[in-house]
Chain A
Amino acid sequence: MNSPILKVAKFEVVRQLKKPSFWASILLMPLLIGFIYFISFTFGSEEVNTNPTIDENTTLAITDDAGILAANTPYVINGNKEYGIEHVKSGEFDLYFYIPSDFVESKKAEFYHVSEGLDLFNFDANILKGILAQNAAARVDAVDVISLTGNFEIVDNKLTINGEDENALGKAVIPISILVVFFMFITLFGNRFLMATVEEKENRVSEMILTAVTAKHLIIGKIIAMMTLGAVQVVTFVVPVLALVFLNRDNQFISMILDSIVIDPVAITMNIILFIAAVLFFAGTCTFVGSLVSTARDASSFIGPAIIAIVFPLYFMQLFFASEPNAIVYFLTYFPLSAPIALMMRSGFGTLGGVEFTIGLIEVSIMAAIMIRLAIKTFQKNAINFETVKLRLRLHKK
C-alpha cells in the first residue's frame, strides 16, 4: 500500500473503527428499531376487524363457493370467479373476493382489484376477515377454526388493464430504499465528514502533515475513508433489519410488503449510480465547508443550511408521486443541492427518463468534482489559517 491516499484512508478508517462511540452511534438505530419491533409484536395483537368500513362509493362483491357465509350476507353474488374478475376489469366492482370450495382445508381466499398505482399495502384485503367474522354463521366449525381467528391467507391479485402493470410503489420500494440509505448517510455522517476535515486545523497538525502528504491526497484519502465507514455503517444497520424481515417473512404484514415489491432493474441501476454521485457530491460539500472553517463548531453553522437544501425535496414528496412532474419538481431536480434526492425520488417513482437521468447525473457528478476540487484548493490555502474564513461582500460605489 504505497499510495499516500490509501495510507490516509487506512489511518482514518482504523482510528474510527477503534472508537466505541462509532459503534454506539451506528448500533443505536437498529437496536432501537429492534426494540420497537419487539414491543409491537409482543404486546400487539392481530385482531380481526369485525366491523369493516367500506366506502359508500366502493363496490364490493364476494363469490362464496365454500358456502361459509350466511345466506343474507351483503355483497355475496351468484356469479362465479371469472364473472367477478371480468367485472373488476370492467370497473363495475372495485373489490372482489373469491372464497373457493376448499377454503376450510386450504385456508386461502382470493382478492381481486385493479392496481391503482401507488398501492403498496392494500389493506382492503382485510375487509373479508371482518365480513367473515360477522357473517360466517353458516358453518360454525369453519368460523371457529378460521374466520374468527382470522387465521387464513388472502391472496392479493392486482389486476392490470391493457397489460400495464401500474404498481408504481411496488417498483419504487428498492430504488427508494437506496434513497433512504443516502438519507441515513447524510444525517449520520455529515458531522463526521466535517470533523475529519477540520481536525487537522483544530489540532494544529495541518502544517506538519502537509509536508508529508499533499492536500489533494489528504482530502481524497479522507473522503475514501468516510465512504468506507459509511458502508460499514449501512451494512451494520441493514443486515439486522434484513435478518428480522427474513425471520418474520411469514408475518402477514411483512409478507404483504414482500409480495408487493416489484424488481425494476432500470430504476435500481439509475439510483445506485445516482447514489454514488450523490455521496461524492455530499462528501465534497462537507469537506469544502470543513476546509473553509477552523473549528467543528463553525462548520456546523455552515453545513446545516446545506443539509436542509439537500433533503428539501423530501418535504415535497407528494408532488413526486404525480406521473407528470410540475415546475417545482423540475426546479428541485436541477437545483444543484436538491438534485441528488429529487433525481432519486423521480427515478424511484418512474418519472425520470433516460435523458433527464443523464443530464442530472452529469450535473451531480460535475458538482461533486467541483466541490472536491474546491475542498482541496481551500484546504491547501487555508490549512494554516486557524481562523474561519470571513466571507465578505464588498459593495463598490461607482
Chain B
Amino acid sequence: MSNIVEVKNFKMKFGDKTVIRDLSFDVKKGEIFGLLGANGSGKTTTIRALLGLYEPTAGELLVDGKKYDAEDTDVVIGYLPEERGLYRKEKVIDTMVYFGELKGLKNPLEWSLKYLKRVDLLDKADEKLEKLSGGQQQKVQLGITIMNNPKLLILDEPTKGFDPMNRRLLMEIIDELYQKGTAVILITHYMDEVEKLCDRALLLKDGKAKAYGTIKDIKKEFNNKSLDQIFIDIYGGKDE
C-alpha cells in the first residue's frame, strides 16, 4: 500500500522553543492512523505544517509525494481543526453552501440538506450558527469537512464535546469514508476510539515519537498493555 502522507526528519521551532524534534512517519492510503499524545506534544503543529499552515524548521512533509499547496494539488483533503469556529452570524445552510462552492461541489445545496437531515439538523438549516449548541455546530463543521469526499481526512479531536449518540454517529461517518478508501488521520485522547478504529498509530511526547506502528505491534512492544496504560506509562515517565 503506498503512502498518502510522508513526514521525514521534521523539526519545528517557535522562537527558541523546539516543538518537534526529528519526527518521521507515514500514513498509508486507505488506512485509519491515530496521532496520539498529550496536550502540547506537537500533534496539531505536525498537521498544520503538513497542510502548509506552518513552515517547518527542517524536514519534509509530503501529501501524495508533494509538499501540500491548496492551489496546486490533486488530493482532496478534509480537515476538522482543533480550533472550532464558523461564521457565527451566518445561516447554517448559507455557510455550508459557501464551503461547498469553495470545495468544488456540483450541488452544494442538495448535499448540505441531505447531510443536515442525516445528522438531525434539517430544521436548523435557516438558523444562524450562533443559535446552535456547541455539539450542533460541531456536526455542521464535520459536514463541511467531509463534503468533498476527501481522499485524506484529518480529524483533530473530533469527538470532543460530543455526547455518546453523536460520537457513534461520527464513528459511522468515519467508517463509511474508510470503506470508500479515504485515509484518516485521527487525533484523539480517547484510546478506545484508537483501538476500535485505527490500523496504525504514532504516540508523540515532547515532539518525539515514543511509539509507532500497528496497534498490535505497539501493544506487543509494551508487554500487551492496553493503549490507555501505554499512554499513562509514557507520560508518567516509566518509558524513560
Contact = CB atoms under 8 A, between A and B. Distances in A.
B8 interface: no
B70 A205 contact: no
B85 A204 contact: yes
A205 B102 CA distance: 14
A304 to B, nearest CB: 25
A209 B87 CA distance: 11
Contacts of B102: 4, 7-8, 209, 212-213
A212 B53 contact: no
Kindly name the residue among B51, B81, B90, B94 whose own CB sees the greatest number of chain A CB atoms within 10 A. B81
A86 interface: no
B141 interface: yes
Interface in B133-183: 141, 144-145
A57 interface: no
Interface residues of A, number: 22
A355 interface: no
A213 B85 contact: no
A387 to B, nearest CB: 13
A205 B51 CA distance: 15
Nearest to A2: B104
Contacts of B36: none
Interface in A211-249: 211-214, 216-217
A207 B103 contact: no
Contact of A199 (B51, B71, B87): B87
B83 interface: yes
A4 B84 CA distance: 23
Contacts of A15: 87, 90, 94
Interface string B22-47: 00000000000000000000000000
A209 B81 CA distance: 10
Residue in A4, A212, A213, A386 whose Cβ sees the most chain B Cβ within 10 Å: A212
Nearest to B100: A212
A159 interface: no
A314 to B, nearest CB: 34
Contacts of A383: 53
A199 B88 CA distance: 10
A203 B87 contact: yes
Interface of A: 4, 7-8, 11, 15, 199, 203-205, 207-214, 216-217, 383-384, 386
Given A203-B88, A204-B83, A208-B80, 4 more contacts: A204-B85, A208-B141, A211-B79, A213-B70
CB-CB nearest 4 A-B residue pairs: A204-B85, A207-B81, A212-B102, A211-B79
